[in-house]
Amino acid sequence: MKRCMVAILLLLLGACASPVRQEIARDTSVAEAPPPAGAGQELAMRALGFVGVPYRWGGSSPDTGFDCSGLIRYVYEQITGRPLPYNAYGLARFGTTIDDAELQPGDLVFFNTMREPYSHVGIYLGESRFLHAPSSGSTVRIADMNKRYWQRRYNGARRLPI
């Protein structure tokens, strides 16, 4: 079941590189050079392999569980070998701020879930979906940013240097 879900999501990620999204990216001037094509998708695809891993406060390993920032840090360090800030608030200050229209798979999306800005983070997958480790008693899962809960708490997005 998990493999089927990952395969379907990988197909969705491929669909996210539509000509419309590519045109938006081309028309946008960014101070920093964009990451290599597919770098963000690699982050998203690797993260998908952790769907179902239990949530654990402060967790940063698939063996013991993840919290939201621990999941991001683990996957990013596996790809780049570079560390990231420890919590969602620290991650919100890292990388480049991007417009919602520029969202691509692998970008980080931030939410206010604890009455504090940037208190939760996930990895954007495309088609308004993101992967995250939500809370105690749950597992790493995919959520829909169009759901009212997430829309009301959305704080913005950032692109990591990969």
Residues 66-113 have pLDDT tens digits of: 999 999 999 999 999 999 999 999 999 999 999 999 999 999 999 999
Entry pTM: 0.78
Residue 114 CA, chain-centre distance (Å), reads 19
> What are the backbone angles phi and psi of residue 106, rounded to the nearest 5°?
100, -15
Mark whether 11 is an active-site residue: no
Statement: 2-16+38-159 belongs to CATH 1.10.3720.10: no
Candidates 13, 44, 68, 75; catalytic one: 68
Candidates 74, 110, 120, 126; catalytic one: 120
Positive/negative CA dihedral, 60, 61, 62, 63:
negative
Mark whether 132 is an active-site residue: yes
Residue 107 CA, chain-centre distance (Å), reads 5
**End-to-end Cα distance, the chain:** 30
Q: What does the domain layout of the chain look like in residue ranges? A: 2-16+38-159
The token pair that represents 3 in the structure block = 């493999």
Mark whether 68 is an active-site residue: yes
Query: What percentage of the chain's residues is helix, strand, coil (to nearest 5)?
Result: 35, 20, 40
Residues 114-155 have pLDDT tens digits of: 989 999 999 999 999 999 999 999 999 999 999 999 999 999
Candidates 132, 133, 158, 159; catalytic one: 132
Q: Phi-psi region for residue 10, left (φ > 0), alpha (ψ -120 to 50) or beta? A: alpha
Are 55 and 140 in contact by the 8 Å Cβ rule? The answer is yes
